[in-house]
Structure 1
Amino acid sequence: MSEGSPVGVSQGSVTRFRPERTGVSRGTVARLASLPGVSTASAVADAAVHAKAAGQVLPVAPALAGLLPHEGLRRGSTVSVRGSTSLLLTLLAEATARGSWAAVVGLPRLGLVAAEELGVELSRFALVPYPGAEFPAVTAALLDGLDLVAARPPQGKGGETLARRLSARARQRGAVLLSLGAWPGAEVELRCRTVRWTGTDGGYGYLRAREVVVEATGRAALARPTRATVLLPGPDGVARVSGPAPSSASSTTVAGVAVPAPALPVREVG
């Protein structure tokens, strides 16, 4: 690109630009877009739509879609989840409900009841709680055959090397690797922190919903953190975008929709 050109282009990366904002003619845009590694904003958007249609992006709950670059889990990617097993299970829920298969490796305290309550389809869900020394082989085999595999990051000597090998395996096989904890080289990292539990406004009653803030960071589109306030779980046990805070009344409004607030027997206080 010559000096003084109104649009900078770096080959090997995706560069987004809009002619009407830069004063660049459409002919110039067409020539730039023909360069290897350069895409217009509309082409990037079209590619994302095509990826979804081709099954290259696995769906997630609508409350979480806006946090992810493709509004879902891109096949071949590694996503780390920090601070919440519930968030990890919620990421599996929508995909398993629509026919994808998932497995969790090396999380012995994770329960099937909790997974089902968060929307995971148990008929397409497997647990390998104690892989032991076979963790690398078990995880690799699951990545070969399933759509989503969740695990803790490998620890100890050689742990980082093994983690990168498993990420490479996921890329080759078109699986999604989810980690409960920091994973070296993850494309997306989701952090979850609890803001408050609700449902005991009068000092007694049942906890009905947990409001959390989820922050997404990563590469490219996620270079700047993206945040969302989510009910995880919501009054009906499903993740929802947080609207007005739920209370101990018979119903509440979540994302503009009236939702009954059944008393979930999570914990009784007072």
Structure 2
Amino acid sequence: MQARRLDTREIPTHRALAAVLPGGVLREGTVVQATGSTSLVMALLAGPSAAGRWVAVVGMPAFGAEAARRFGIDLSRLVLVPEPGGQWLTVAATLADTVPVVVVRPEGRVSPGEVSRLAARIRQRGALLIATGAWPGADTVLEVTGSRWTGLEAGHGALVEREVVVRTAGRGGFGPGGAARLRLPDAPGGVAEAVETPLAPVHRLDERRAG
């Protein structure tokens, strides 16, 4: 991996996320806060990874390589640092020097100083930071607020697809907030827009039972 020159501020993004992201794309030098589902994080990584970019995940020991592969993430360009402990900030900042997309789960509450230092590094390197916990000043905030599975019928069958509601807020001129529905995962195991059918009552996502 080598330091890179940047030609554009847009990052290859899975087309299904266009309805979720302000402006319809991920952007270099920004921070996205994504909470409520590991599957949402994998969906955000799918586009950049499929386009040949390296991605890194810091502080998420439950991040499954096989599930990531089904979402379209290239495991040969995936860096995993499951348990950085109190060094999570240093690890994330170091990776941002050479890895275009870095996911981090902060240890505890993030201080303003930590936010400022890492955000400056991200802007300088033209990387994308995806934070899976609260991140003050994030350019885009995505949250999975509801979820329902399909596939079980009359008490038999298998879970096939999960439809989720993703609420979005943006700042910095990247677009207004709103909500959209995605299939995470869809039947093939990836990500897709939800079919426009009446939405059944959704249930608060429990990350302990669904990724």
TM range, normalised to the smaller chain? 0.7 to 0.9
* Contact 2:22/2:176 (<8 A) preserved: no
Aligned pairs for 1:28-39 (under 5 A) are none
**Counterpart residue type for residue 225 of structure 1:** G
Among residues 230, 235, 244, which one is paired with 2:182 in the alignment? 230
| Two-structure CA RMSD over aligned residues (Å) | 2.1
Among residues 87, 94, 97, which one is paired with 1:134 in the alignment? 87
Q: Tell me the equivalent position of 1:152.
A: 105
**Structure ID, larger Rg:** 1
**Counterpart residue type for residue 68 of structure 1:** L
SS of the equivalent of 2:20 reads coil
Aligned pairs for 1:1-270 (under 5 A) are 54-156=7-109, 159-221=111-173, 224-243=176-195
* Contact 2:22/2:175 (<8 A) preserved: no
Deviation at 1:161, TM superposition (A): 1.8
* Contact 2:59/2:106 (<8 A) preserved: no
CA distance in 2, matches of 1:220, 1:135: 26
* Contact 1:63/1:239 (<8 A) preserved: yes
Larger RCO of the pair (alpha carbons < 8 Å, separation 6+):
2
SS of the equivalent of 1:142 reads helix
CA distance in 1, matches of 2:147, 2:93: 36
* Contact 2:86/2:107 (<8 A) preserved: no
CA distance in 1, matches of 2:134, 2:165: 18
* Contact 2:9/2:27 (<8 A) preserved: yes
Q: Tell me the equivalent position of 1:32.
A: none
SS of the equivalent of 2:32 reads strand
* Contact 1:154/1:163 (<8 A) preserved: no
Deviation at 1:135, TM superposition (A): 2.0
Structure 2: runs of 5+ lacking an equivalent: 1-5, 198-209
Question: Which deviates more from structure 2 when the two are superposed, residues 236-245 or residues 101-110?
Answer: 236-245
CA distance in 2, matches of 1:130, 1:193: 27
Q: Which has the higher strand share?
A: 2
CA distance in 2, matches of 1:94, 1:231: 16
SS of the equivalent of 1:81 reads strand
Q: Deviations over 1:152-185 (max 9, x none)?
A: 13425x6332122111110111000000122111
Deviation at 1:244, TM superposition (A): 5.8
* Contact 2:23/2:174 (<8 A) preserved: no
Change (3 A) 1:136 1:220: closer
Question: Which deviates more from structure 2 when the two are superposed, residues 192-201 or residues 222-231?
Answer: 222-231
* Contact 1:154/1:162 (<8 A) preserved: no
* Deviating 4+ runs (over 4 angstroms): 220-223
TM-score, with structure 2 as normaliser: 0.84
**Counterpart residue type for residue 235 of structure 1:** A
**Counterpart residue type for residue 160 of structure 1:** P
